[in-house]
Structure 1
Amino acid sequence: MPHLVVLYTGNLDKLTDMNTLCRSLADAMLSVKDEAGAQVFPTGGTRVLAYPAPYYAVADGGAAGKAAGGDGDYAFMYLNLRMARGRSAATQKRAGDAVLAAVRERIDPLMKERHIGVTINVDEGAEVFDAKHSTIHSLFKKP
């Protein structure tokens, strides 16, 4: 943890480089600091995963978009950031703002030409079961 999962309409694949967006999102997460100035998310635990939806229905199917002069091919992106419990509301907001800023850097130029919706949710893990198995964390432990 933390994990950022991005679900998006498949039509965004031809409009933006999702791998670059994922890297930008991970970098944004790693830049978040708490009130004491400490890095909020552990480097070895930060993950961003993006999944395109090849099948989707958004809003009215494009009628309003066409009436507004667009092509009616709406796009949508949903981002869910899960973080461990115990972070302050201010830290949670900083994390959400950092993710939003990274998304906007890539998506805002596209919004000038088409209709795109973006939703970001930040939640705390409320696990019933939590297991981790990794050889990545040891790369970032200080001796």
Structure 2
Amino acid sequence: MPHVVILYTPQLDAETDVGALCRSLAGALQTVHDEAGQRVFPTAGIRVLAYPAAHHAVADGSGDHAFCWLNLRMGRGRSAAVQQAAGQALAEAAKAHFAPLLARRPLGLTLQVDEGPEVFDAKFGNLHSIFQKR
């Protein structure tokens, strides 16, 4: 962890590079440090996944209103300062990415940060070993 899930109205696919947004958000998470100056999130644990909504109604459902919801979920145990820093880093990256769209069209953006508690948490695979060699 951390995992960022992006849910957005599908007309944004024609207006912005959602893949570039995902990469930008992943990069932003790599810049988050704790109070001791240590990086908070391991590179191999970062996930950013984006999904266009097949069906949607934004605001009153009329018009071509666009929306993007970004949700960061992180494991428990990080300080409030780290949680705020992670949220701020993602907000800045999202604002920079969406600035051209905000200048020309109605677009709602929401960013939420959530933390555990997990009732079951199993992690397995080989991604971490790839990044430990670097």
TM-score tier by shorter-chain length is over 0.9
How many correspondences in the alignment?
134
- Give the equivalent residue in structure 2 for 1:22: 22
Measured after TM superposition, the shift of residue 142 of structure 1 is: 5.9
Per mean C-alpha deviation after superposition, the further-off stretch among 14-23 and 123-132 is 123-132
- Give the equivalent residue in structure 2 for 1:39: 39
Query: What is the TM-score of this pair, normalised by structure 2?
Result: 0.95
1:113 equivalenced with 2:115 (yes/no): no
Measured after TM superposition, the shift of residue 141 of structure 1 is: 2.3
- Give the equivalent residue in structure 2 for 1:85: 76
Per mean C-alpha deviation after superposition, the further-off stretch among 44-53 and 125-134 is 125-134
2:9 and 2:131 mapped to 1: Cα distance?
Answer: 34
C-alpha distance after superposition, 1:32-56 (max 9, x if no partner): 1111111111111001000001210
1:49 equivalenced with 2:40 (yes/no): no
Per mean C-alpha deviation after superposition, the further-off stretch among 125-134 and 39-48 is 125-134
1:139 equivalenced with 2:130 (yes/no): yes
1:48 and 1:40 mapped to 2: Cα distance?
Answer: 16
2:117 and 2:67 mapped to 1: Cα distance?
Answer: 27
Gapped runs of 5+ residues in structure 1? 63-71
Q: Secondary structure at the match of 2:30?
A: helix
Measured after TM superposition, the shift of residue 140 of structure 1 is: 2.1
Which one has the largest radius of gyration?
1
1:125 and 1:30 mapped to 2: Cα distance?
Answer: 20
Q: Secondary structure at the match of 1:119?
A: strand
Q: 2:4 corresponds to which letter in structure 1?
A: L
Q: 1:19 corresponds to which letter in structure 2?
A: G
- Give the equivalent residue in structure 2 for 1:12: 12
Q: Secondary structure at the match of 1:13?
A: helix
1:109 and 1:4 mapped to 2: Cα distance?
Answer: 22
Measured after TM superposition, the shift of residue 106 of structure 1 is: 1.2
Measured after TM superposition, the shift of residue 61 of structure 1 is: 2.2
C-alpha distance after superposition, 1:60-109 (max 9, x if no partner): 123xxxxxxxxx31111111101111111111011000001111111121
Query: What is the TM-score of this pair, normalised by structure 1?
Result: 0.89
Q: Secondary structure at the match of 2:19?
A: helix
